[in-house]
Amino acid sequence: MKIPRPLRAAALLPAFTFVILSVSLAARLAAAESAAWPAPRVVPVLPANTVPNGPPIPSTAPAESAHPDPIALWPNGAPGSETRKDEPEQVSYRQEPDIVFPVVFNIQNPSITPFLPAKGKATGAAVIIAPGGGHMFLTIDREGYDLAKWLADRGIAAFVLKYRLARDQSGEGSTYKTNVEPVADGQRAIRLVRSRAAEFGVNPHHIGILGFSAGGAPALGSALHFDQGNPAAADAVERQSSRPDFHALIYAEVPRGDIEVPKDAPPAFFTVAFDDTPKVGALANLFLKYKAANVPTEVHIYNRGGHGFGVRTDRPEMPISTWPARLVDWLGDTGMLKN
């Protein structure tokens, strides 16, 4: 029997209504998440963030470069920091001998900011990026968003991690420890990305973490201390493994004392400059421990570059400026770029 056209339209209506409602709900949730995130508060340049005869500090207000909306690691605030989750982050300038850049601190609600590649370019790999800053602040652009954009342009999803700071410059007094909260935030970020892998278009078995300088705390901590998740957890994120599938340490902080590298630690990529003392020695010694544990590791020690080179386009003559390309080469060599 032929169904009349009005009845056919009516029969399809529930499906169309479901699609429209789903899209509308997703849009409302995204808008609510963005609206709930307080804007960072601009603060004057702190004396500790200046150097004699440094470059001029801009007269314009400091600001992070443009970026997508962040995603809180815990919807109700990080464990132990719930009452401070609505505090606005603070942004200021830091002046160094050859550069001035924005820094962010007062991180009380840790988050990841996603930079996703176009679907046609996506490799399925994902990198969580932990900026450095001496646990006082986060060098959010050249050790965060700049690398994230560069990776996304090459088909690698990137998530910039804002972790809690043990020496936070906000002046509010930090109760965090360098080997506790940053590591917990790194582990949670890995679980969170893995729990939403399909949504982000990434392979749940190709998720890694990278740390610059103090960002080595969440990166190395996550690589050496992980678990397979708690299948009985009420929180779906906590059911996921916190083990990264790879990790990268870029002139990273290495804890003092005896470090035990488990034999099932994920493959590693180290980059540092020879003239970055003492980071070069610490990473070289760490490599020997990785070698003893038979953990595949690639190491790049560049002749010069100092500390904190990050992603900079103003020194193209320096070989160290090409280190992100070497990272992508290594990811390809380890099979992480095969979706």
pLDDT in tens, 264-308: 999 999 999 999 999 999 999 999 999 999 999 999 999 999 999
| pLDDT surpassing 80 at residue 11 | no
> pLDDT tens digits for 88-120?
999 999 999 999 999 999 999 999 999 999 999
| pLDDT surpassing 60 at residue 177 | yes
Q: Which domains occur in the chain, in start order?
A: 36-333 (3.40.50.1820)
Q: 246 Cβ partners below 8 Å, 6+ apart?
A: 208, 266, 267, 268, 269, 331, 334, 336
Q: 127 Cβ partners below 8 Å, 6+ apart?
A: 151, 156, 157, 158, 159, 208, 209, 210, 248
| CB contact at 8 A, 283 and 299 | yes
DSSP 8-state code for residue 138: B
Q: Which pair of tokens denotes residue 180?
A: 């506790």
Per DSSP bridges, beta strands 90-96 and 99-105 are antiparallel
Distances (CA, A) of 167 to 105, 171, 213: 10, 9, 14
CA–CA separation, 322 vs 150, rounded Å?
12
Question: First-to-last CA distance in the chain?
Answer: 47
Q: What is the pLDDT of residue 56?
A: 97
CA–CA separation, 8 vs 3, rounded Å?
6
| CB contact at 8 A, 89 and 172 | no
CA–CA separation, 101 vs 4, rounded Å?
67
Q: Which of the four pLDDT bands, split at 50, 70 and 90, describes residue 37?
A: confident
| pLDDT surpassing 50 at residue 237 | yes
C-alpha 242: how far from chain center: 14
CA–CA separation, 276 vs 310, rounded Å?
13
Q: What is the pLDDT of residue 189?
A: 98
pTM, to two decimals: 0.90
Angle between helix 146-153 and 323-333 (nearest 10): 50
Q: Which residue has the tokens 């652009």?
A: 141
Q: What is the pLDDT of residue 84?
A: 95
| pLDDT surpassing 90 at residue 193 | yes
Distances (CA, A) of 292 to 125, 249, 267, 283: 28, 18, 13, 14
Q: How many CB atoms lie within 10 A of CB 249?
A: 29
Backbone φ and ψ for 71, nearest 5 degrees, come out as -125, 120
In single-letter form, the type of residue at position 216 comes to G
Q: What is the pLDDT of residue 26?
A: 36
* C-alpha closest to that of 156 among 188, 129, 183, 182: 129
Question: Mean of the pLDDT values across residues 161-177?
Answer: 94
Angle between helix 216-224 and 181-195 (nearest 10): 70
| pLDDT surpassing 70 at residue 235 | yes
| pLDDT surpassing 60 at residue 246 | yes
Looking at every residue in the chain, the average pLDDT score rounds to 90
